[in-house]
Amino acid sequence: MNKTELLPHLFRTEYRKIVSVLYKHFGFEHPEIAEDIASETFLSAAETWGLKGLPENPVAWLYAVARNRAKDYLKRNKIFDQKVTPILQSGQPDYAEFEIDLSDKHINDSQLQLMFAICQPVLPAEAQVSLALRILCGFGIDEIADAFLSNKATINKRLFRAKEKLREEKVKIEFPATPQISKRLQAVLTTLYLLFNEGYYSTSQDTTLRKDLCLEAMRLTYLLIENELTNLPETCALMALMCFHSSRFDARTDEHGEMVRYDDQDTSLWVDELIHKGKHYLELASKGNQVNKYHLEAAIAYWHTVKEDTIDKWESILQLYNRLLQIAYSPAAALNRTYALYKARGKQDAIIEAEKLKLNDNHLYHVLLGHLYKDADNTLAIAHLQTALKLAKTASEKTRIKKDLAQLK
């Protein structure tokens, strides 16, 4: 990797580590300090390395500069005066308290504690995901705006309000007490689930960004698995779900970036290694006594990696959706269950169930009905697809629907 490529790569991998440790040190009382010091560290690298060339150990160089900048800030800031004055008056100056620990263990601990701090019920879900992208994943404002199909001003406001709320609530960056971890973990897993979905089901055409969102969600979930306090069956179930879905990532779009429906996917593009990892984590997830939505969604995702298109496969998926809807109903799951019903028992049963949903403002609902009515009543199929075309929000969705209409006409 040459000098031009190295710094952006290190920014992606090391910024989040540095900023997590600094957040841990300064807390949400002064969130701008952590981000400013981390940003200044990389700005200094760009200037210095451009003039003097790469240091022998670029990562160690970044960590050293971050430590020094943090210490310099403390020395000239009121925070430093408030904390150090009593020590100086005692006649025993001790600067060890201000050492910024960038060891692997402390970095991992800081990121885990930040996860629990960010995933607070006082914040809306989109704010939690945005903060996770910014602080835990090191994403820039432009990238977050692209992920949410929004703009920089909106994202900046959202992040500012979220940090202010955490400061007002005096949220501490620390592990919850052991008895509370299981309860608090649910909010963390929900945020990681939403983060993964933001990438996997994103309507953004930026394939690299979409993959990065999924990979970051998986990386943070793996941090939870590595820690014995959070390595619980539901965590493993979420990781299994992510592995199974990620295994089919490259098959979901064609060379033009358009969505490829499941039945049309090139199964040679599915990644066997991720499927095997998914099976491993699903087996670990089965060791608990409870079944939650991640277990069921992971099992559904597993069956979607089975290449043989059999009635038994779709009947298994249908029964899993039946259980999922009982514990965690969502319109998306209801639609997917109707598709599984069609594959397992035919169009007529699926049409009856689909009509009951009445998701008239959902373009995917009309796409499904268009598919189900095809050949049985092409006039009605066309009507549903034309409604879907009006409701669709992205160019790729509209292109796919236009192709379906062209086939019918």
Rounded Cα gap, residues 166 and 371, in angstroms: 47
Number of H helices, E strands in the chain: 19, 0
Q: Are 55 and 49 in contact (CB under 8 A)?
A: yes
Answer whether residue 21 is part of any domain.
Answer: yes
Rounded Cα gap, residues 148 and 199, in angstroms: 10
Whether 133 and 201 map to the same domain: the answer is: yes
List CB contacts of 362: < 8 A, sequence separation 6 or more. Answer: 331, 335, 391
Regions of the chain where pLDDT drops below 70: 1-3, 78-98, 203-205
Which structural domain, as residue segments, surrounds residue 222? 103-231
Answer whether residue 238 is part of any domain.
Answer: no
Whether 171 and 122 map to the same domain: the answer is: yes
Answer whether residue 178 is part of any domain.
Answer: yes
Whether 18 and 115 map to the same domain: the answer is: no
Contacts of 221-229 spanning 24+ positions with Cβ under 8 A: 221/189, 221/192, 223/108, 223/111, 223/112, 223/115, 224/112, 224/115, 224/185, 224/188, 224/189, 225/281, 226/108, 227/108, 227/112, 229/175, 229/178, 229/181
Rounded Cα gap, residues 186 and 392, in angstroms: 32
List CB contacts of 406: < 8 A, sequence separation 6 or more. Answer: none
The tally of domains found in the chain comes to 3
Q: Are 88 and 153 in contact (CB under 8 A)?
A: no
Rounded Cα gap, residues 185 and 112, in angstroms: 11
Domain endpoint, select from 231, 256, 288: 231
Whether 108 and 66 map to the same domain: the answer is: no
Nearest in space to 140 (alpha carbons), one of 206, 218, 54: 206
Whether 69 and 89 map to the same domain: the answer is: yes
Q: Are 354 and 368 in contact (CB under 8 A)?
A: yes
Residue type, 155: I
Domain endpoint, select from 102, 121, 151: 102
Nearest in space to 241 (alpha carbons), one of 209, 198, 197: 197
Whether 133 and 84 map to the same domain: the answer is: no
Longest dimension (CA), the chain: 90
Using CB atoms within 10 A of its CB, is residue 6 exposed (0-12), middle (13-18) or buried (19+)?
middle
Whether 30 and 127 map to the same domain: the answer is: no
Other C-beta atoms within 10 Å of 220: how many?
22
Answer whether residue 113 is part of any domain.
Answer: yes
Rounded Cα gap, residues 63 and 81, in angstroms: 24
Other C-beta atoms within 10 Å of 91: how many?
6
What pLDDT score was predicted for residue 94? Answer: 45
Answer whether residue 307 is part of any domain.
Answer: no
Rounded Cα gap, residues 44 and 62, in angstroms: 9
What pLDDT score was predicted for residue 338? Answer: 98
**CA distances (Å), origin 77, targets 94, 156, 321, 401:** 17, 26, 57, 59
CA 373 to chain centre: 36
Domain endpoint, select from 198, 231, 264: 231
| pLDDT mean across residues, the chain | 90
Other C-beta atoms within 10 Å of 398: how many?
16
Whether 193 and 226 map to the same domain: the answer is: yes
Answer whether residue 185 is part of any domain.
Answer: yes
Answer whether residue 24 is part of any domain.
Answer: yes
Rounded Cα gap, residues 54 and 45, in angstroms: 9
What pLDDT score was predicted for residue 218? Answer: 97
Whether 33 and 150 map to the same domain: the answer is: no
What pLDDT score was predicted for residue 114? Answer: 95
Whether 135 and 162 map to the same domain: the answer is: yes
**What tokens were used for 247?**
């295994």
**What tokens were used for 106?**
């402390």
Whether 97 and 120 map to the same domain: the answer is: no
What pLDDT score was predicted for residue 205? Answer: 66
Answer whether residue 279 is part of any domain.
Answer: no
Query: Within 13 A of 373's CA, how many CA atoms are on the CB side?
Result: 21
Whether 112 and 226 map to the same domain: the answer is: yes
The packing angle between helices 363-373 and 378-391, to 10°, is: 160
